[in-house]
Structure 1
Amino acid sequence: MAASRSHSLFLALLALALLAPQCVTEYPGPSRNHLGPATVMGADEEAYLILLHSVLLDGDLDLKNNHAQVVRGALQGGRKNAGRIMDHHSIWYIDGQRYVWRDLVDHSRWTRDANGLPQYTFHARFDPRLAIGPEYSAHPVGLAFLLAPVLWPLRHTAYVEMGALLCAGLATVCGMLLLDRLLRRYSTDGNAIRLTLLAAFLATPLWYHGRSFFTEPFLVPLLLGAYVLGFRERGGFWAGLCVAAGMLMKPQLALLVPVLMVPALLRRDWLQGALVAVMPALATGLLLWLNQHMYGSPWRGPYPFMVGNLWEGLEGLLVSRPKGLVWFAPAVLVGLLGWPRLVRERPLEGGLLLAGILPSFLLVALWNDWGGGWCYGPRLIVPLLPLMAIGLVKALELDLFQRFIPRWLLANALLFGVAVNAFAAFRYWQSWHRFPPHMLAELIGALKP
């Protein structure tokens, strides 16, 4: 009983730590931190917020009028953008070629109407009717769909931005509770479970992204929930529902469907196996219809997959200065040593977990934009980090980690990960595309009297 209470207290404190950055408002420039609701920084976050407002306020996916409202002073692009002309994350397919808003607009020929609103003129080589037509997002629309019912009561208030970021934090906390549930399947050592949770959520970029408005923090509980439910005898439909919700943000999560069908098929439970695929099939149909509606073909998505160099991507995700896991989540990499033991002890579940991690990791590495663009850390593999960290709970059982030096190295990897990711989470605006040792040096310098 005492052990259960202490573990519950640990989970509560970890949840508070994950949510703490939500209370820090920060603006560009030195010494601008103060208490207050978190805000988005820019780039894709603003684009997702505009898309969310379009669904909440207009019930459509046309972003043109929402950008106009921002110029009038509305908060649809975040507090810092009110009254500004934002970059439109909108795309068009013209003769099969994908163009973004910046490609089409002739910036030298902007005009303003009687109300002072900008009137955009497209370059002469493009059909002028495009400028007065709808604007559709360059990002998947699933995040807006998922959050619109939750934030519906706030739609006419100034709290949508705060609510959206809080939802990201709460989603990360849900992911932490689901990982705790998974870890209990593989270990009875409470200390090992707690250390693994700490490594997965505070010593990786998950802490940072739980305060962001990217899709990654929302994918974390969906991935973990799919496995927690998929390992249950009657959880097929609900596991498929988690995958389907994730597919609306990252269609490649369809790769999980055959993986999660395996337990039911091995039990010859054909109904549960089929139920895993029901909601992902509906999600696939919805995505194809949306592609047709917005981009003119079911096979054109908002962001096509562009093949890069696999080895370059693997090196970048593992060791490169701006994105490598060795700098952002070294304790998780140490945990890879425990995967052989996990697979030996639980071959079915261990194999299914690896079948969810490895193809997705390799797919990101194969993409030419494997780094996830201008952001903090290896953003595109952030949802995989809790699954990768599961190996740590078994690594701690190895004879190797009963010795002083390996345990000392693991402790330092954990402390390093917590330090750099804490700095990033609480100095959100200063952390984009930063090298962790530089941030740590800055943190140490700030602590000096």
Structure 2
Amino acid sequence: MAYAWMRVPARSRTSIVIFTLCLFVYTLLLLVFPRYKGSPTTRGDEPHYLIITESVIRDGDLDLENNYELEQYASYFEQDIMMLHVTRDNVSTHPMFLSLLVLPGFRLLGYKGAALTMILLTCGAAALTFATADRFASRKVAGGVTLFGFLSYPLLFYSRSIYPETAAIFLLALGTWSCWRLKESGQPTFAFLGGLSAGMVVLFHPKYIAISIALFVLFLIVTPGRTRRLLGWWLLPAALSLALLLLLTGITYGPNLLKGLTASGGSKFQGGFWGTNSVWGIPGLFLDRAWGLLIFAPLYLLSPIGLALQNNRLEWERWWAFFPLCIGLHALFLGTFQSWNGGAAPVQRYLVPLVPLLLICVAVFIDRCASRVAHGAAAAFALLQIIVSIWAFRFMVGTYGMENTDNIFFVHFLGEGAVKRFLMFVFPLYHPGSPGAVLLTVAWILLYAAAIYAARRYYLSHGGGRVSPIVDIRPFRRLAS
């Protein structure tokens, strides 16, 4: 057995180890912490996705009226549901494919079976994220950053969540990895996987259309001169996924497909994507002190800097342009979403699918900017993220992006001390927006510009960016390993 294991390529062995470690940790936490302190077993939209599963299993239909009335959600949501997420016809306002995905596990093991389904997807995302990052950073850095990201806030808490975001983590990781493998090999299998990822991410929720578009652009980037031969392989699964989305939407909403595709879950504005918080959510997804990602997961502050540390122009044009395109389009779309706070879920829910891309950029930063200052900053941010992850077990509801709230998480643990006041000062509040928030946003942009300039200058002065654009691009040097 040891001989067979050693015959597996080193990158694949490490991917398997990462998958196994994540599976062990996630499953252990599911058993040890079936409920986080102060919250029910499920939260936010999770019971509403599972009530669809209940209805299919128990009644064989999608009419949820009796399922809510009988409180069939009681075993995994230990509170009364005050707002039914249904239309006038008593069908769910949520896309049903996620509910169908977890159905086999739910039927066998109840909520834990559904959660294990999502855990397997998250573990797969971790393995694929490493397999991509390993092509651009050293194996130790790629593996360490991947494990840290998937075992800390927010992915640690989304690993078992019955949310389309959890499935989207896996699909974006799969789409990114498959397109790189397509670039390496030209095999149609990877074109098929890329199209499957782009199609299914919208099948889980139409709000991921920006990710789907970005994955198609990535396919075009990695197939210059071979597009016609491989386009059919990419389009086939994407088209089938789209057809299934329309079919499922038609089953629940009838001929009013547009209403079904733009349904908005449990929002107080049920029935549409856009609303009162338009525009402010674009920077707010990242920087808002109550609803933004970066104050809770500061290691990802390094992602834009890592994105700028490419070896040469060819490497950027052939691959890395996908990263700002995907992140930017997704933020532009969901930043104008009427409830960009994400509701009763750890913030920032809508950026969770992008974490594989952010982790790859962090790995590149740590690997290519090896100064003491850079590594010290990475260590400090990682320590803060560990602290937030530990605190989240004790005060999960403090991480929720609830409407009309400021940050209560850090106030709970830090009181009104200097650290709390500093965080509240440097991270703006975008709900509502204000001139002060605009000034802080400009300050953040200038700070990033200076940091990117300094990091790239260090990188270039220490041998970076000097490789041949033909024979010595780093990722291709390491294909054999």
Give the TM-score, by structure 1 length.
Answer: 0.75
Partner Cα distance (2:200, 2:242) in 1: 11
Q: Deviations over 1:113-152 (max 9, x none)?
A: xxxxxxxxxxxxxxxxxxxxx411111112012222x327
What displacement does 1:435 show? 4.4
- In the other structure, the counterpart of 1:116 is none
Partner Cα distance (2:18, 2:127) in 1: 11
Matches within 5 A, 1:384-423: 384-399=354-369, 401-403=370-372, 405-423=373-391
Q: Match of 1:78, as an amino acid?
A: S
Which SS does the other structure have where 1:413 is aligned? helix
- Aligned alpha-carbon RMSD (Å): 3.0
Unaligned segments of structure 2, at least 5 residues: 1-5, 265-271, 402-406, 416-481
- In the other structure, the counterpart of 1:48 is 49
Q: Percent identity?
A: 25
- In the other structure, the counterpart of 2:139 is 190
- In the other structure, the counterpart of 1:124 is none
Note if 1:326 corresponds to 2:294: yes
Which SS does the other structure have where 1:346 is aligned? helix
What displacement does 1:171 show? 1.6
User: Would the aligned equivalents of 2:133 and 2:363 in 1 still touch at CA under 8 Å?
Assistant: yes
Q: Which of 25, 35, 47 is 1:26 aligned to?
A: 35
Q: Which of 91, 97, 101 is 1:136 aligned to?
A: 91
Matches within 5 A, 1:91-102: 91-92=87-88
User: Would the aligned equivalents of 1:199 and 1:331 in 2 still touch at CA under 8 Å?
Assistant: no
Matches within 5 A, 1:292-441: 292-296=250-254, 297-301=256-260, 302-303=263-264, 304-307=272-275, 311-342=279-310, 344=312, 346-347=315-316, 348-399=318-369, 401-403=370-372, 405-425=373-393, 428=396, 431-433=399-401, 435-438=408-411, 441=414
Are the structure 2 counterparts of residues 152 and 213 from structure 1 closer, same or farther at C-alpha, using a change threshold of 3 Å? closer
Aligned residues: 380
Partner Cα distance (2:278, 2:76) in 1: 39
Which SS does the other structure have where 2:87 is aligned? strand
User: Would the aligned equivalents of 1:310 and 1:362 in 2 still touch at CA under 8 Å?
Assistant: no
Partner Cα distance (1:264, 1:326) in 2: 31
Q: Match of 1:139, as an amino acid?
A: H
Partner Cα distance (1:203, 1:28) in 2: 17
Note if 1:226 corresponds to 2:175: yes
User: Would the aligned equivalents of 1:338 and 1:393 in 2 still touch at CA under 8 Å?
Assistant: yes
Q: Which of 164, 187, 201 is 1:246 aligned to?
A: 201
Partner Cα distance (2:197, 2:59) in 1: 27
Note if 1:17 corresponds to 2:25: yes
Q: Match of 1:368, as an amino acid?
A: Q
Q: Which of 191, 198, 207 is 1:236 aligned to?
A: 191
Q: Deviations over 1:270-300 (max 9, x none)?
A: 2321221222223323333433443341211
- In the other structure, the counterpart of 1:90 is 86
Are the structure 2 counterparts of residues 260 and 275 from structure 1 closer, same or farther at C-alpha, using a change threshold of 3 Å? farther
- In the other structure, the counterpart of 2:404 is none
Partner Cα distance (2:94, 2:366) in 1: 40
Which SS does the other structure have where 1:374 is aligned? strand
Most deviating of 268-277 and 357-366: 268-277
Q: Match of 2:349, as an amino acid?
A: R
What displacement does 1:263 show? 4.4
Are the structure 2 counterparts of residues 340 and 77 from structure 1 closer, same or farther at C-alpha, using a change threshold of 3 Å? same
Partner Cα distance (2:198, 2:121) in 1: 15
Which SS does the other structure have where 1:375 is aligned? strand
What displacement does 1:221 show? 0.8
User: Would the aligned equivalents of 2:342 and 2:350 in 1 still touch at CA under 8 Å?
Assistant: yes
Partner Cα distance (2:132, 2:14) in 1: 19
Which SS does the other structure have where 1:225 is aligned? helix
Are the structure 2 counterparts of residues 439 and 51 from structure 1 closer, same or farther at C-alpha, using a change threshold of 3 Å? farther
Note if 1:78 corresponds to 2:75: yes
Note if 1:151 corresponds to 2:105: yes
Are the structure 2 counterparts of residues 86 and 437 from structure 1 closer, same or farther at C-alpha, using a change threshold of 3 Å? closer
Partner Cα distance (2:170, 2:363) in 1: 19
Partner Cα distance (1:430, 1:69) in 2: 30
User: Would the aligned equivalents of 2:307 and 2:361 in 1 still touch at CA under 8 Å?
Assistant: yes
Matches within 5 A, 1:257-296: 257-263=215-221, 265-296=223-254
User: Would the aligned equivalents of 2:19 and 2:124 in 1 still touch at CA under 8 Å?
Assistant: no
Partner Cα distance (1:153, 1:244) in 2: 26
What displacement does 1:427 show? 5.5
Matches within 5 A, 1:150-189: 150-151=104-105, 154=108, 159-187=109-137, 189=138
- In the other structure, the counterpart of 1:129 is none
User: Would the aligned equivalents of 2:47 and 2:77 in 1 still touch at CA under 8 Å?
Assistant: no
